[in-house]
Amino acid sequence: MTLLLGVDNGGTRVKLLLAREVGGRFEHVRTDDAPTPRGPGAMDELAVLTRTFLAGDRADAFGITVAGILDETSGVVATSANMRWLEGLAPARELSDRLDIAGVAVQDGVATAIAEAVLGAGRGADDVFVLALGTGIAGAHVVGGAVRKGAHGGAGEIGHLAAGRGEKCTCGQSGCLESLLGGTRLGARWDRARGVDASSTALDVVLAAERGDGTARAILDEATTALAHSLLSVMAMIDPGVIVIGGGLSNSPTWIIDPAVDKAHRQATFHAVPPIVRAQLGTWAGAWGAVVTAGHRMSGERRLERTETV
C-alpha cells in the first residue's frame, strides 16, 4: 500500500487529497481545501496547511499542480499569470524540503487530463484524448496514464487546428477552434453580431440560446460545427479509444456537447468514432491527477485504476 498526497494549488483555493494506492487502484482517504496561500510566504504557509491536513499520516509521495508554464526538467515555474509568486520557484522541491516527502510538480491541465483518462470518463481505455473547453481550448493525449507532450512540450494543441472560416485567433492564425468556441470569444462574437459592447460570457450566450435568441443559436451552431470538425481531426490523426470533453463549456450538453457529437457522427466518413463522453471528476480532477502522477513516479506503473469516485 502506498499513501499519496495530491495538492491542487489553484489560483483561488488549494485542494488537498489523501489517497491510498493498493494494487494499482486508488482509494480516497480524505480531502480538504483552503484559500490558496499567496505571496512570498506562500510555500511556508502551504507546508503548514499540508502538515496539518496529513496529521499523523505519512504520505509516501505527493504531487502538486502548477497553474502556469512549468519547465519539465527543472520543475521551475516559468510563468504563472495568476500566481506570480511561484515564478522562478520549483514548487515540488520547495514543498518536499519542508515536508521531507518526495514530490512531483505537474501542470494543472495535464493533471486534469491524466485524472480523467485514468480514473474518470476515460477509465479502462489505454488511449484517451481529453479536451478542455474553457477560455482557451486545450487537448491532451493520454497514453497508458501519461500525457504525450511531444518533442517540445507542445503536443495536443487542438484549439489551434483550423476548424472553420477565417476568424482571427490570438495565436496569430485564422479559423482556429479556439477563435470560434473559446469562452470569451463566444461572448465577444455574440456582442459583435448584435452590435453591442456588453462583455458577454459564454454562459450569457448559452442562456440566450436557451431563451430562443436566433443570433446566439447561430453562433453556437458555428462553434459546435467547428468542434465537430476538430473531433474528426483528432480521430484522423490520433484515433483514440475514448474522447473526453471537460472544462466549463462542457457543462452545456444541450448547446455545446450534444450538437457537436451529433455532427461529428453525421460527418464521419472513414473515421472510427470512439465514445465521446463528458468529463466526470469535476473540480477534484486536478488533485486526483496530482495523486496519479505521484503514484506513477513511485511505482513505474503505467496503468492505474481507482475504486472510489469523489
What residues line the site for a second copy (CB under 8 A)? Answer: 125-127, 139, 149-158, 160-162, 171-173, 229, 232-242, 267, 269-272, 274
The nearest distance, CB 121 to a second copy, in angstroms, is 15
The nearest distance, CB 156 to a second copy, in angstroms, is 7
Query: In terms of CB distance, is 173 or 215 closer to a second copy?
Result: 173
Query: In terms of CB distance, is 55 or 151 closer to a second copy?
Result: 151
Query: In terms of CB distance, is 156 or 247 closer to a second copy?
Result: 156
Asked if 279 and 244 count as a contact pair (C-beta separation under 8 A), the reply is yes
The nearest distance, CB 231 to a second copy, in angstroms, is 12
Query: In terms of CB distance, is 34 or 146 closer to a second copy?
Result: 146
Three-point CA angle 206, 113, 2, nearest 5°: 140
Question: What is the C-alpha separation between 194 and 192, in angstroms, rounded?
Answer: 5
The nearest distance, CB 68 to a second copy, in angstroms, is 16
Question: What is the C-alpha separation between 286 and 32, in angstroms, rounded?
Answer: 14
Question: What is the C-alpha separation between 241 and 116, in angstroms, rounded?
Answer: 13
- Reading phi first (left if > 0) and then psi (alpha if -120 to 50, else beta), residue 153 is in left
The nearest distance, CB 165 to a second copy, in angstroms, is 10
Question: What is the C-alpha separation between 133 and 244, in angstroms, rounded?
Answer: 11
Nearest to 222 by CA among 158, 278, 163, 134: 163
The nearest distance, CB 232 to a second copy, in angstroms, is 8
SS3 state at 251: helix
The nearest distance, CB 240 to a second copy, in angstroms, is 6
Helix, strand, coil % over all residues of the chain, rounded to 5: 40, 25, 35
- Residue 107's H or E segment, with its range, is strand 102-107
The nearest distance, CB 141 to a second copy, in angstroms, is 8
Query: In terms of CB distance, is 22 or 237 closer to a second copy?
Result: 237
Query: In terms of CB distance, is 87 or 126 closer to a second copy?
Result: 126
Query: In terms of CB distance, is 103 or 164 closer to a second copy?
Result: 164
Nearest to 9 by CA among 40, 60, 49: 49
Question: What is the C-alpha separation between 160 and 181, in angstroms, rounded?
Answer: 11
Query: In terms of CB distance, is 93 or 271 closer to a second copy?
Result: 271
How, if at all, do strands 77-79 and 146-147 pair?
unpaired
33-40: long-range contacts, CB 8 A cutoff, minimum separation 24:
36/9, 36/10, 36/11, 36/12, 36/83, 38/83, 38/85, 39/85, 40/85
